[in-house]
A and B are shown apart, each in its own frame.
Chain A
Amino acid sequence: MTTDPGFWLLQTLNALQLSMLLFLLSIGLTVIFGLMHFVNLAHGALYAAGAYVAASVSAVAGFWAGLVLAPLAVAVIGVLLYGGLIRRMRRSGPMAQVLVTFGLIFVALDLTRLIWGDIALASAMPPLLEGRLSVLGIDYPLYRLFVIGLGLVVFAALAFVLGRTQIGAMIRAGVDNDAMAACLGINVERLFFIVFCLGCALAGLAGAVAAPLLSVSPDMGLQILIPTLIVIVIGGLGSLQGAIAGSLVYGFVQTFGAVLAPGLASVLIYGLLAAILVIRPTGLFPAKG
């Protein structure tokens, strides 16, 4: 089986698809952390919220409406979270932030149970993407190719904004040294608010994209949290390159581990995490600040 090039291609595409999903989740979390040293453990809950909104909307108005509305709805949740909680917690230490946002996970868990019930929800794929496409001799689900493409497009757009625009330079400056950025007239708190809402929207987008692939269940946010944290630790906190590199490492190790060494797959990623932390304690591409 492993000598068949089709097998390698198939698994590579699977790995890419997982990587892109993780990328959409980790980029918001890592930049929020880099900019404000704020740990939002409820980021996974925002992903679950995105999946639920997308599943509900798509049942009524179709997949594409869900794909657009879910990030918007989760961004609104982000605005409420920021105004109600996070702004007040900016000066409290990391321990308080970890505890409160960890608590939020369970609030979100119960809220989703209350609203949507305890059973898993299924979400339909759009008819346009239901089929399979022949890629270099193998048949691959079109929808998964769409996920890969979407992740790459988001990566390219963020790379452009962060790397080439004035607001991107302001965000990088804020990640490097928020006090000095403020002394240059940059309203770092507002920048943080914008980045936070954008990060929430991307988590919602990830949820919407994942909904047709997985069953939408209340604990999906908790399940994705650990992989997302591993991604940003491997990649290095605060940087776009780190988020994409960490996602690719996780996606490939997880996917190939599961098919080549099923017995080892679950420990493989933790071993790799430990190895990377020993060799590069700050991760592969940490922000420089």
Chain B
Amino acid sequence: MLDAGQAMEPVLELEQLCAGYGETQVLHGLSVQAAPGRVLALLGRNGAGKSTTLKTVMGLLPVRAGQVRFRGAPMPRQPHDIARAGIAYVPETRDIFPSLSVRENLELTARRFRGDWTLERVLTLFPRLGERLDNGGTQLSGGEQQMLAMARALLMNPRLLILDEPTEGLAPIIVQQLHDSLQALKRAGLSMLIVEQNFGFATALADDVAVVGRGQVVWTGSAAAIRADTGVQHQWLGV
């Protein structure tokens, strides 16, 4: 499986990536590849640089050195061009627009990025949103906001879906629903890059795992391999 995935051209390729905030550099030559049609999980301790990696991929932080390639071509620099190239991003904070209704939050992307994912289809994946279409974006519960952020991302009909800590702050039953939804997306062949603190959740979903430590990738392998490797778990994840 892993070999088949790696034989294909990576959907996303980070090469010796350096990035950070102002004076502080956070990523020090981070390299990792995401294979198409697979789920890659980025794991690592708090402050390791996982979210920073995702923000740099989205163009929210400038690339200071190294390269980001998307489907074989250099990544555009501006976030809106990156989005239009086919990347959808669900940040840690979900970032639902408070001035927009649930419907408006969804339709914001639906018209530009037409494709298989339509409003009807995301509402069958997340039925609760259907009952809340005319609510304000921030009148939703945490779980509903996560679903709205994911639905909004899917309506972009992305080639790569990026999720930053999707289970954070959610009740166990909602986490289970989220797992089922993400499995459905995986079966549909969507490439995903996911950052997640919940080790069990991440390794159940992911095919491949890259462990980030101090701004670099310190381990890569399959999800099964890291589940079996308690040494890596102790050293880099503190599990």
Contact = CB atoms under 8 A, between A and B. Distances in A.
Contact of A184 (B60, B83, B98): B83
Interface string A162-188: 000010011011011101111111111
Interface in B17-75: 58-60
B80 A188 contact: yes
A183 to B, nearest CB: 5
Given A180-B95, A181-B97, 10 more contacts: A166-B108, A172-B100, A173-B97, A175-B99, A177-B95, A182-B59, A182-B83, A184-B152, A185-B80, A185-B112
A173 B79 contact: no
A176 B108 contact: no
A179 B97 contact: no
Contacts of B100: 169, 172-173, 176
Given A166-B107, A169-B107, A173-B108, A186 B99 contact: no
Contacts of A184: 80, 83, 108-109, 152, 156
Given A183-B60, A185-B113, A173 B99 contact: yes
A286 to B, nearest CB: 10
Interface string A184-205: 1111100000000000000000
B78 A183 contact: no
6 A-B pairs with least C-beta separation = A288-B98, A182-B79, A185-B83, A180-B95, A172-B99, A176-B97
20 contacts: A169-B108, A175-B99, A176-B98, A176-B99, A177-B95, A179-B79, A180-B97, A181-B97, A182-B78, A182-B83, A183-B60, A183-B89, A184-B152, A185-B80, A185-B112, A186-B108, A187-B78, A288-B138, A289-B98, A289-B99
Contacts of B99: 172-173, 175-176, 287-289
A166 B109 contact: no
Contacts of B80: 182-188
Contacts of A185: 80, 83-84, 109, 112-113, 156
Majority-rule SS of A interface residues: helix
A176 to B, nearest CB: 4
B144 interface: no
A288 B152 CA distance: 20
Contacts of A181: 97, 108
A32 B98 CA distance: 18
B158 to A, nearest CB: 10
B80 to A, nearest CB: 5
Contacts of A288: 98-99, 138
A237 B84 CA distance: 30
Contacts of B97: 172-173, 176-177, 180-181, 289
B91 interface: yes
A208 B59 CA distance: 43
A177 to B, nearest CB: 5
A170 B100 CA distance: 9
B98 A183 contact: no
B128 interface: no
A70 B238 CA distance: 67
A175 B58 CA distance: 20
B92 to A, nearest CB: 12
Nearest to A287: B99
Given A173-B100, A185-B84, A179 B60 contact: yes
Interface in A196-243: none
Given A176-B100, A177-B95, A183 B108 contact: no
A183 B112 CA distance: 13
B111 interface: yes
Nearest to B149: A180
Contacts of B113: 185
Contacts of A188: 80
A47 B98 CA distance: 32
Nearest to A171: B99
A172 B97 CA distance: 8
Interface string A68-84: 00000000000000000
